[in-house]
Structures are given as structure tokens and as C-alpha cells.
């Protein structure tokens, strides 16, 4: 490992969680002061930051002459990979059915769900235009965050400890990167990160976590948009 690796870990585990929490607090203060929510700008800014970090990581990785296979870009193969692929498929079907069921919710239930989001609702997609932008952010998050947290962070930690403790610690880092969601959000995303870490180790490839992450965010975004859709509002298209 080099100072480059230590620097990236410091940014991921310490700087980014603090910066993310503080910037979201500032965003909420502006809304409380009467400014409109700027979710589209927030999605674009978040995507840019993630891609910039990935470019820095990959540039350093290439300059250090490290193989991409060390980041998890292995060719899909073996029965374990296909079993994991089947689990991702089943999970996707369940999420699709769950998202579809929201369309049948009465208005009162939709309002309760909206209220349960709390401050996080100011980040979530509430109309069709925001949903399309959220889809693009979902693709970014699926690619970048899996390469960073399941690829790079696990590689880094695996040089210091056995693989399963490394998976656990990397999931803590993944939860911390969602600090703006509060303690409950960090716990939930940490558990999601743990699941993707297990998927990565058993499948032996980063491709399934990337696909699973994208599908999870896209379908959750669609479900949230349906919650914000009033029952008398026609669906898009």
C-alpha cells in the first residue's frame, strides 16, 4: 500500500461523512429559510463528486500498475457466481412487485409514508423529472460506490485483516458515506453494504454487486416517486 491508498481511505471514512452531513444540514437550513428544494442540482452535484473520485482512484491505480482484477473485475464464472446471480434476479422480482404495490395505496397511506421520510424527503424524487435524474444518479452510485467500497476498500482492508472482518468494516464505511441520512439511514445503508460485500465475496466478481446496486436504487426511486404521486394524478406517459 502507498500514501495514495491511505489518503483515499481517510477521505472515505472521515472527510466525506463529515462533509456530507454538514452540506445536507446547510441544504435543510436553506429550505427552512424559505428557499425551494433543489433536488435536481443535488443529484447532479452528487454524481459529479462520485465520478471525480472514481477517476482519481482509477488514475492512481493505473499509474501504480495494479491489475483491475484486484478491484474485482473478474470474468463471471463458476457455480457460486450463477447462484448469486439467481439471488439477485429473485431480489429484483420482489422489489418490482413491491414497487408496483405502492400504486394501490390510498392517499392517506401515501401521506404517512411521506411523513416518515422526515428531512430525507427533501432529497428524494417527488416528480417524474426528478425521478429521471435520480435514475442517472442510481447508475452512477451503482458503478462508483461498488468499485470504491467493494473493490478498493475491501482490497485495502484485506491486506490488514481476514476477508470477513474486512467486509464488515467496509460496510461501516459505506454506511458512513450516507451520513446525511442520519443514524437510521447509516445503519440501513451499512446493512445493504454488508449484503453487497457478501455477494461480492461469494460471486468472486464486482459485476453482480454493481448490477444489484443499480437495480436497488432505481426501484427504490420508482417506489418513492409513486408514494409522492397523488392518487388522482395520472402516471407518466
Residue 113 lies in a domain: yes
Residue 29 lies in a domain: yes
pLDDT, tens only, 34-45 = 888 899 999 999
Residue 236 lies in a domain: no
DSSP-based helix, strand, coil % in the chain, nearest 5: 80, 0, 20
Cα 193 from Cα 184, distance rounded (Å): 14
Give residue for cell 394524478.
233
User: For residue 233, what pLDDT band results from cuts at 50, 70 and 90?
Assistant: low
pLDDT, tens only, 60-95 = 999 999 999 999 998 888 899 999 999 999 999 998
Cα 73 from Cα 187, distance rounded (Å): 28
Residue 10 lies in a domain: yes
Residue 233 lies in a domain: no
pLDDT, tens only, 93-127 = 998 888 888 888 888 899 999 999 988 998 999 99
pTM of the model: 0.90
Cα 85 from Cα 55, distance rounded (Å): 28
* Beta carbons within 10 angstroms of residue 171's beta carbon: 24
Cα 48 from Cα 54, distance rounded (Å): 10
Structural domain for 114, as ranges: 3-228
Cα 160 from Cα 114, distance rounded (Å): 43
> Residue 237: pLDDT above 60?
no
Cα 35 from Cα 43, distance rounded (Å): 17
Residue 138 lies in a domain: yes
pLDDT, tens only, 165-185 = 999 999 999 999 998 888 888
Residue 141 lies in a domain: yes
Cα 62 from Cα 68, distance rounded (Å): 8
Residue 234 lies in a domain: no
Provide the domain count of the chain.
1
Give residue for cell 425551494.
36
Amino acid at each position: 500500500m502507498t500514501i495514495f491508498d491511505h489518503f483515499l481511505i481517510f477521505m472515505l471514512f472521515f472527510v466525506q461523512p463529515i462533509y456530507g452531513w454538514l452540506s445536507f444540514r446547510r441544504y435543510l437550513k436553506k429550505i427552512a429559510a424559505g428557499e425551494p428544494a433543489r433536488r435536481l442540482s443535488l443529484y447532479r452535484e452528487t454524481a459529479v463528486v462520485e465520478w471525480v473520485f472514481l477517476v482519481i482512484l482509477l488514475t492512481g491505480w493505473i499509474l501504480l500498475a495494479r491489475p483491475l482484477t484486484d478491484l474485482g473485475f473478474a470474468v463471471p464464472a463458476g457455480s457460486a457466481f450463477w447462484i448469486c446471480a439467481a439471488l439477485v434476479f429473485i431480489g429484483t422480482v420482489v422489489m418490482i412487485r413491491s414497487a408496483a404495490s405502492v400504486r394501490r395505496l390510498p392517499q392517506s397511506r401515501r401521506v404517512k409514508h411521506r411523513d416518515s421520510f422526515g428531512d430525507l424527503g427533501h432529497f428524494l424524487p417527488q416528480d417524474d423529472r426528478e425521478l429521471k435524474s435520480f435514475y442517472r444518479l442510481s447508475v452512477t452510485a451503482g458503478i462508483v460506490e461498488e468499485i470504491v467500497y467493494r473493490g478498493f476498500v475491501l482490497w485495502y482492508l484485506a491486506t490488514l485483516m481476514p476477508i470477513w472482518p474486512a467486509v464488515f468494516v467496509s460496510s461501516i464505511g459505506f454506511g458512513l458515506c450516507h451520513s446525511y441520512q442520519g443514524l437510521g439511514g447509516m445503519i440501513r445503508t451499512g446493512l445493504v453494504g454488508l449484503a453487497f460485500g457478501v455477494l461480492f465475496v461469494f460471486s468472486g466478481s464486482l459485476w453482480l454487486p454493481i448490477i444489484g446496486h443499480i437495480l436497488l436504487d432505481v426501484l427504490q426511486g420508482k417506489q418513492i416517486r409513486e408514494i409522492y404521486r397523488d392518487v388522482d394524478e395520472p402516471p407518466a406517459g
